[in-house]
Amino acid sequence: MKKSILKLFLVGAFSTLALTSCSNDDDNGGETTPSGFVANPADFQGELKSGDKVTLDASKTYYLTGKIQVNDGAVLNIPAGTKIVAQGGTKSFIAVAQGGQIFANGTSSNPVVFTSDSKTPGSWGGVVLCGKAPINKAKSATAEVSELTYGGDVTNDNSGSITYTRIEYAGAIFNKDKEFNGLSLFGVGNGTKIEYVQMYAGSDDGIEFFGGTVNTKYIVSNENEDDQFDWTEGWIGTNEFWYAKEGRNKGNRGLEADNNSSNNELSPFSNPIIKNATFIGLGGTYEGSENQAMKLREGTKGKFENLVLANWAKGIDIEHDVTLSWIPKDLFIKNVQFINVGVEATGKNKAGASIDVSNAYSKANNTGAGNGVDTPTWAKGWTVGL
């Protein structure tokens, strides 16, 4: 009996040693990956499957050559100082599926950076999160650029955490109707943390919310070639300190806000709270279809407070009957300061007639995102292009 126990102990010890040796892999941060996924810095692509927990090595640069997909039950950890350089155009993006999680957590002095080797707008996909929070498009839907399912009824769904992170040169174009953003949030729940994140020099929108309940704080979106901020499909979230700035002589709006383009009356209605924001345009005429700080349309609600709108042909544009019906109770901008804005606000109903929307906002001097038109203190040190 004693010999059998000793033999069993020795076999077990040898097995443990072997497993420890196999899992101590420099390429995937020393993590065991049941699916066999390996985070190869020179060829970073593939799928993390249920049970995979991968931590990247901040001392290495990872070259994103294809899609990274974090599936249900998998976790991707990206520590402070990690740099991921995309090389593959539309085939290169990072997508988190429902039930998967990403933790990209930098610091103010050592941010996580997603960029491209060409340093040109639209040179890679961007970051896509798909959660289980409510949307108004359907009970669930398929994300337009990752083909992953999103939506549900889990308001506090948790897709992870993205903090002190830059997403640069994203927005690769599939076709005229299908284009990545810097950060796309599809049905993302309010258990997810999005704070101190910058979207820089993308070819489409900086950040777009497709329904969901996620909250954000300390967000910079600048020099993206379409809208700096965008939402649709019934997004409801609480947000503070947004700073948007046009650049590169391109771009449309600081903010484009929709409820649902197919049916403006679908619920849950887009109804975020936005406090302390600055939207800066290029002034005068420049490339882009609409030189506007804020476009509110297609049935969106929204409560805004302390906004600085500077250097736009038009400050606020409100369209469509359902949107106009929310003024002033469910759609109102409190304490907005216009600086070098040609026309403060216009309204237009479904028939195309002009509507007075002066009761949709009140004016007052304020500091917007924290420093008026200048770069706020909280955005210094970890951002670029400001």
Report, in angstroms and rounded to the nearest whole number, the Rg of the chain calculated over CA atoms.
23
- pLDDT value of residue 30: 46
Nearest to 293 by CA among 365, 229, 240: 229
- pLDDT value of residue 5: 35
Residue owning tokens 């002033």? 328
User: Contact, 81 vs 61, CB < 8 A?
Assistant: no
CA 110 to chain centre: 20
Cα 233 from Cα 152, distance rounded (Å): 13
- pLDDT value of residue 289: 57
Residues 6+ apart with CB under 8 A from 296: 257, 302, 316, 317, 318, 319, 323, 331
- pLDDT value of residue 41: 98
CA distances from 308 to 196, 229, 243, 247, 344 (A): 20, 15, 10, 17, 12
User: Contact, 343 vs 249, CB < 8 A?
Assistant: no
- pLDDT value of residue 177: 73
CA distances from 230 to 47, 217, 252 (A): 29, 15, 11
Nearest to 242 by CA among 201, 296, 195: 195
- pLDDT value of residue 283: 87
Residue 349 in tokens? 């109903």
Going from the first residue of the chain to its last (386 residues), give the mean pLDDT of each consecutive group of 10, the final group possibly shorter: 35 36 41 86 98 98 98 98 95 97 98 96 97 97 94 98 98 84 98 98 97 98 96 98 91 94 97 98 70 97 98 96 98 98 96 97 98 98 97
- pLDDT value of residue 161: 98
Residues 6+ apart with CB under 8 A from 7: none
Q: Model-level pTM?
A: 0.92
Cα 339 from Cα 318, distance rounded (Å): 19
- pLDDT value of residue 32: 57
